[in-house]
Chain A
Amino acid sequence: MATAKVFEEITLALEDVAEVLTAVARGDFAVRAPRSFRGDSIDVLAFLVNSTAEEVSDLVEQLENERTELRQARDQLVMAAKLAALGELAAGVAHELNQPLTAIQMLADMLLRRPERKLSECEGDLQMLSEAARRMARIVDGVRTFGRPGQLRRVPTQPAAPLMAAIDLLAGTLSREGVTLEVDIEHDTPGIEADPDQLNQVFVNLLTNARDALRSLSSGSPRRVQVCLWSTPSSVAVSVEDSGLGIDPLDASRIFDPFFTTKGVGEGTGLGLSVSHGIVSNHGGSLSYQPSKDGGARFVVVLPLRPDGVAR
C-alpha cells in the first residue's frame, strides 16, 4: 500500500514537472511545480525544475533585450547609411533642381517682359513651366521618400514611378561624373502591390552602387549606366547595369550579406544590397546579380504582378 502511495506521489510530481517544462517550451515561464518543502527527492526535483524555469525565463528576457538592441542598432545604421548617401547626393540634387528652376525663372521673366501677349499665345511656355515644376516636385519627392524610414506599406503601384524618382535623384550626380545614363522603361506595365518608397530605396541603392563602380575606372574608360524596365506575363523586372569592372567572382556570393562591402573604409556601410535584398524579398520578389556581357555588374529586380494587374 505504502509503495502504491509513493508511486502515486512520484507520478504526480512527474506530471507537475512535465507541466512546467511544457509551459517553458511554449514560452510561458510563470508555471511552477508545487513544493512540499519536505526536502525529500520529490521536493528537490520540484525546486530544480522551478529554478530551471526561472533561469530560462531570465535568459530569454536577456536574449530578447539584446535582440531589440541589435534591431535598433541595425535600424539606426540603415538610417545613417541612408542619410550618408543622401548627403553625398546633395550636390547632384542641387544641380538637378537648378535646371528646371532656371527654366522657370527665364520663362517667368519672358512672360513678365511681354505683358501684352495673350494667354493662348503663351500656351507652349506655360506647358514648359508646368513640366519644369513637376520635374522639381519629382526630385523633391525622391529626396523626401528616400530619407524616410518605415514599415512595408503596400499600395497599387506603377513600378516605373519609384524607378523614375530614383533616376531623377541620381541623374545629376551621374551627369556630373561624366556618366552616360541610358534609360529604357516600359511605362504602361501592369501595376503591382508594392511599397513605392521602399522600392525607390532599392533603385537608389542600385544606381548608387553603379555610380561607385564607375568611379574606380581610369579616366579614358567609357562610363555608362543602363536602366531597363520590362514586364512578363507574371512579373515586372528592372535591371541596372554598369560598364565598370564587375564584382570579383570570389565576392559575388557575399554581396547580399549585411556589412559586406568592397568599398573603402568610410565609403560604404555594406548595408545597401542587404537592405535592398530584404525589401525585394518582402515583396515576394528576387534581387540577383550576374556579370554583364561586357564584364560590368548587372543587378536584376523581379517583382511579381498583383493578380488583377491594375494600378491606381
Chain B
Amino acid sequence: MPVEASPSRSATAQGRERALVVDDDDHVRVLVQRILATAFAAVDAAHNAAQGVAALQGQAYDVVVTDLTMPGASGLTVVREARIRAPEAAVLVITGFADQDDEAQIQQLGAELLRKPFGVGELLAAIARAQASARLSPAEG
C-alpha cells in the first residue's frame, strides 16, 4: 500500500496507533486507508461488516472508520463490536445516506458521523473529533 504523505499531521498523527477501515466501496476503502496510513502505524481494511467484526475480534484498534451501508450487516454492527472490544477507540462512521434513526444510534454509541462526499481535510478533522470525544468520554462496554 503506497503511503500518501500528509502535510498536516494534526491531532490524528499518533506514532504507534492502529486503525481499521471498513467499506464495501473499493475506491473509498483504498483511499481512506491511504490517508490513514499517513497518520497511523498500521491500517487494516475490511470489505464488509462481518470482516470488520472479525478483525476487531482478532486485533486491538485505536481508530475504527466504517461505512454505514454495506451488503449484509450494517456498519452499526462494527460500531457495536468496537464498543465491546475497544471501548476507548475512536469510532467514525462514514456514509452516503443516514436517516434520523441511524444518526441517533451513531450518537448513542458514542461514534462520530461524517457524510460522504468528503475530502482529505474533512476526514482527518472528523477522526480528530472522534479521538477527542473518545478521550473525553470513553463509551461503556
Q: Which residues of chain A have a CB within 8 Å of any CB of chain B?
A: 91-92, 94-110, 113-114, 128, 131-132, 172, 174-176, 178-181
Alpha-carbon separation in the docked complex, A53 to B7 (Å): 90
For residue A114, which residues in chain B have a CB less than 8 angstroms away from its CB? 4-5
A107 touching B31 by the CB < 8 A rule? yes
16 contacts between A and B (CB under 8 A): A95-B95, A95-B97, A97-B96, A99-B96, A101-B116, A102-B31, A102-B118, A103-B28, A104-B117, A106-B123, A114-B5, A128-B30, A172-B97, A176-B97, A178-B72, A179-B71
| Known contacts A98-B116, A99-B27, A180-B71: A110-B34 contact under CB 8 Å | yes
For residue B28, which residues in chain A have a CB less than 8 angstroms away from its CB? 99, 102-103, 106
B interface majority secondary structure: loop
Q: Which of B71, B97, B123 contacts A91 (CB 8 A)?
A: B97
Interface string of B1-40 (1 = CB under 8 A from A): 0001111000000000000000011011011101100000
For residue B73, which residues in chain A have a CB less than 8 angstroms away from its CB? 178
Write the chain A residue with the least CB distance to B70: A175
| Interface: B119 (CB within 8 A) | yes
B6 touching A113 by the CB < 8 A rule? yes
**Distance in Å: Cβ of B50 to nearest Cβ of chain A:** 11
For residue B6, which residues in chain A have a CB less than 8 angstroms away from its CB? 113
**Residues 60-111 of B contacting A (Cβ, < 8 Å):** 69-74, 94-97
| Interface: B120 (CB within 8 A) | yes
**Distance in Å: Cβ of A261 to nearest Cβ of chain B:** 26
For residue A105, which residues in chain B have a CB less than 8 angstroms away from its CB? 117-119
**Distance in Å: Cβ of B19 to nearest Cβ of chain A:** 16
B25 touching A99 by the CB < 8 A rule? yes
**Distance in Å: Cβ of A117 to nearest Cβ of chain B:** 10
Alpha-carbon separation in the docked complex, A108 to B25 (Å): 18
| Interface: B141 (CB within 8 A) | no
Write the chain A residue with the least CB distance to B96: A98
Alpha-carbon separation in the docked complex, A128 to B5 (Å): 19
Q: Which of B5, B74, B97 contacts A98 (CB 8 A)?
A: B97
